[in-house]
Chain A
Amino acid sequence: MRRFIWLVILALTASPAAAQNVVKIGQIEAQTGANAIYGYMSSQGLALAVDQVNKAGGFQVGGKTYTIELIASDTRGDPKEASIQLKRLLETDGVKFVFGPFLSNVFVTIEPYAKQFNGKFLLMGGATRIHDFLGTPDHDFLLRSWNWDAGPKGFGNLMVDRLVKETGAKKIAMLFQNDQGGKVLVDIYTPLFKQKGIDAQLELFEPGTKDFSAVLAKLAAANPDFLFPSYSDAHLYDIVRQATEGNYFRKFFLVRGSLGPGLKNKGEIDDYFVYVPKYFEEAEKTDPKVAKFVADYKTFYKRDFPYDQAPLCSSSCYDHLFMLIEAMKKAGSVDDVTKIRKELLSMTYDGLWKIRFDERGEEIFNFDIVRMKRAGQISVTSVDAQ
């Protein structure tokens, strides 16, 4: 009994020392839910990266070896849930680095709370709405881990440009969810289409909608060249199926969502123009880093590689952990967030993607545009955004 008590005392006194060499990383992403496509792969890729770092014995900063403790929560895409989880991460767990969120409705809800901790932590998320807050007072904690759509180097700008040049499109129908994610796309793409001389019509739908026949028929009546549908696979599978079955649309233009809905209906589609941060099916054959990642994923999770969702590992995912560790090494600190942020903004990381941040903290990385034509004929264009 006495021996047992001594062991307990030893364990209790040893724990704080061990805890000093652990860097806590928090994650708030939708791992499940209607919009899980935006958080699923980030949560999968980050867990894999943490495992690899820890199995390799951790990393050294200032002569000390650190391992990583990942505290990943499933927000289910619910802003209230995410707020509670962030509060726990910052106030209870003492986390200084948070990965996520990718969803704009989640970000706009947590932002007023998160900015109270400005200078005390870093939040690296892909949410489109983060763009509006970068470089503004009290928002140094923000880093946006996804390419911006608009602007001279914006991927959306480039895609609209290609759409006009390659297809001669003059009219496009936008069908978005009536929420923060849908409205941000309206804000970005309405002026973009106007600039390129494309006439855009818009319809919004309620998030619970399953039958899109009426709104698709209404949009199709104006004879647009392309349908630009929603941003989440949860709706895209229903929209693409109903649009092709009802003969309303056979040409699609997407800047969010995966190639999956297109592939499922490939026999009925004439053109499926989609932004894919990386077309893994092809990259796996040519890039050893990508091939290793795919193999590691299969070994770690003991299941097939999710090719349709993998491109979204471009945001707050696998590469970003290694990039953060590099920045910590250069800063010589694992908790001085100002120094670490400065190092992140000054470096270029060459991983699955070639990543750097601009002066405001917005990520720029190379990406692919996939164009699927009749019967699933696929062509890929790689774009070096650097």
Chain B
Amino acid sequence: MLQLLVGQTLNGVIVGTLYGIIALGVTLTFGITGIVNFALGEFMMIGAYVTWYLFDIVGLPYPVAILPAVAIAAGCGFVADQLLFRFTRNNLINGLLVSIGLISIVEAGALLLWTTTPKDMGYVLSGAVRLGGVSVPKMKLVVFALLAAVMFLTYVALSRTWIGRAAYAFSQNPEAAMLMGVKTEILQSGVVVYSTALAGFGGALYASLYSLEPAMGGLYILKGIEAAILGGIGSLIGSLAGGIILGVTEAVGSIYLPSAFRDAYGLIFVVAILLYQPSGLFGGER
């Protein structure tokens, strides 16, 4: 039983980082543009499908396939920002409506291009690492390492570079940041594009683990938002922690309780935490 618990805690941590990367995008976008971008899951889907296409159909090596996938997701993010999100800055309701509309458009496009029949990408790295009685697939470890590295680098960039400090300054006091020379339009667009690139990267890694469907984005954005709320909107560490807590709760909950209600276990945890700390676990920390 201990092996089972340890194994599933590890698995929950890894799955949770995938939730965490979406949560990071949610929290960054909300902090800088004042909207919750529900369409981030769609950019994850775009990243996943482009990776599948380039790896399985075109035959590019996986690391090479990831780069254009992230670039295309970011490019789509830029187009969406210039055509739509630019007009909804700091308007939560409008931003929400636009992002929900965008989900329908992107999903319909994916249906036309790839149909709803799932795509199962060829294996990038098969096999598992076995330690004692615990077994973890090698690819999951690689995905975890890459996601954790990207999140760490994002944290470093935000806390150690001029742009990062400008972003923090803007999220705290936009007027003061503008007066100090921060180019707000470019900053806001940059954050939207970076968030979609993060989602695209998450999608590219997702494709190496699971089969793909056009509706996959809807599931992951919900998990991402749950994780962001759990960790505390605005907190980068909170995004990762929220994702991991959600992943572990689902994995460990499925061991002791019926797995048919696995999604509910994470939600119960979110409700319990919010009752105790309404701003989330790391709410208020930046």
Contact = CB atoms under 8 A, between A and B. Distances in A.
Interface of A: 32-34, 36, 40, 76, 178, 203-206, 208-211, 213-215, 217-218, 221, 233-234, 237-238, 241-242, 245-247, 264, 268
A30 B254 CA distance: 31
Contacts of B250: 214
11 contacts: A33-B116, A34-B117, A206-B261, A206-B263, A211-B210, A215-B259, A218-B259, A234-B211, A234-B213, A241-B123, A246-B136
Given A211-B15, A214-B252, A237-B211, A245 B258 contact: no
Given A237-B120, A238-B120, 11 more contacts: A32-B111, A33-B116, A204-B259, A210-B219, A211-B209, A217-B7, A217-B8, A217-B11, A233-B118, A245-B126, A246-B128
A238 B116 contact: no
A210 B128 contact: no
B254 A215 contact: yes
Nearest to A208: B219
A156 B277 CA distance: 53
Contacts of B4: 217-218, 221
B91 interface: no
B135 interface: yes
Contact of B259 (A36, A203, A242, A245): A203
Nearest to B253: A214
Contacts of B120: 237-238, 264
Contacts of A218: 4, 254-255, 259
B128 A206 contact: no
Given A206-B263, A221-B1, A247 B130 contact: yes
Contacts of B12: 214
B15 A36 contact: no
A313 to B, nearest CB: 17
A203 B262 CA distance: 11
Contacts of A178: 260
A210 B258 CA distance: 16
A206 B213 CA distance: 15
A43 B216 CA distance: 26
Contacts of A241: 123
A36 B116 contact: yes
Contact of B260 (A33, A203, A211): A203
Nearest to B8: A214
A247 B135 CA distance: 7
Contacts of A217: 4, 7-8, 11, 255
A204 B115 contact: no
Given A211-B210, A246-B128, A34 B260 contact: no
B125 to A, nearest CB: 10
B258 A203 contact: yes
A234 B115 CA distance: 13
B59 interface: no
B251 interface: yes
Given A178-B260, A206-B260, A218-B4, A213 B251 contact: yes
Interface in B209-232: 209-211, 213, 215-216, 219
B211 A32 contact: no
A237 B251 CA distance: 20
B259 A205 contact: yes
Interface string B151-195: 000000000000000000000000000000000000000000000
A178 B260 CA distance: 7
Contacts of B213: 34, 234
Contacts of A209: 262
A40 B12 CA distance: 35
Contact of B117 (A33, A221, A264, A268): A33
